[in-house]
């Protein structure tokens, strides 16, 4: 897994005991999710360097709101920040590889990307997005309904997005 960005000591100050508990949780969260954030951003932006920049910026922003995020859901807040970051850096262009986010709502397209493109289990995808499993199953179902309603001429474009 590529390691970039600040270390725990840089972020928190090694002598500070009051924030070390939070920092350890932050560092663990970052380590656990970094590769998946990069993989997600790579599919959407089509560029590995951009993807790593997205992940770094996302985790930096998450650190600034970490105490709030901890009280709510670090996964959900992190995912929200990642999606914002990626949206700023991905555009629709003729012939681009990943079409789901141009055709579907962001939640639906995210679930498809994680489960069908990256091959994560429903539980893994749900954990990453900060959602319960049943919500991700629902997103996949509604996505299939929406993609299935597209005219047949578009079917080849969305074949890899549809569940078997």
Interface of this chain with Zn ion, residues 112 to 151, rule: CB under 5 A? none
Q: Figure out which of the listed residues 92, 149, 153, 159 binds Zn ion, where binding follows CB under 5 A.
A: 92
Stretch that binds Zn ion, among 38-46, 63-71, 95-103, 150-158 (CB under 5 A): 95-103
Judged by CB under 5 A, does residue 153 bind Zn ion? no
The residue count for binding Zn ion (CB under 5 A) is: 2
Q: What minimum distance in Å lies between the beta carbon of 89 and Zn ion?
A: 14
Exposure of 22 by Cβ count < 10 A (0-12 exposed, 13-18 middle, 19+ buried)? middle
Residues of 112-139 as b/e, b for ≥16 C-beta within 10 angstroms?
Answer: bbbbbbbebebebbbbbbbbeeeebbeb
Stretch that binds Zn ion, among 39-47, 87-95, 114-122, 129-137 (CB under 5 A): 87-95
Torsion of Cα atoms, 72 then 68 then 113 then 98, to 10°: 150
Residues binding Zn ion (CB under 5 A): 92, 102
């Amino acid at each position: 897994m590529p390691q970039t960005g600040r270390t725990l000591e840089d972020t928190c100050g090694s002598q500070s005991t009051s924030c070390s508990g939070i920092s350890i949780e932050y560092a663990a969260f970052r380590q656990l999710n970094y590769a998946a954030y990069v993989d997600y951003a790579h599919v959407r932006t089509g560029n590995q360097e951009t993807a790593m920049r997205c992940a770094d910026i996302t985790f930096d922003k998450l650190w600034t709101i970490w105490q709030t995020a901890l009280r709510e859901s670090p996964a959900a807040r992190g995912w929200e920040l990642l999606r914002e970051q990626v949206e700023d850096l991905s555009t629709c262009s003729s012939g681009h590889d990943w079409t789901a986010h141009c055709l579907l709502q962001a939640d639906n397209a995210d679930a498809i990307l994680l489960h069908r493109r990256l091959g994560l289990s429903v539980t893994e995808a749900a954990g990453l997005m900060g959602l319960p499993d049943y919500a991700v199953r629902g997103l996949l179902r509604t996505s299939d309904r929406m993609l299935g309603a597209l005219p047949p001429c578009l079917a080849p474009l969305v074949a890899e997005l549809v569940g078997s």
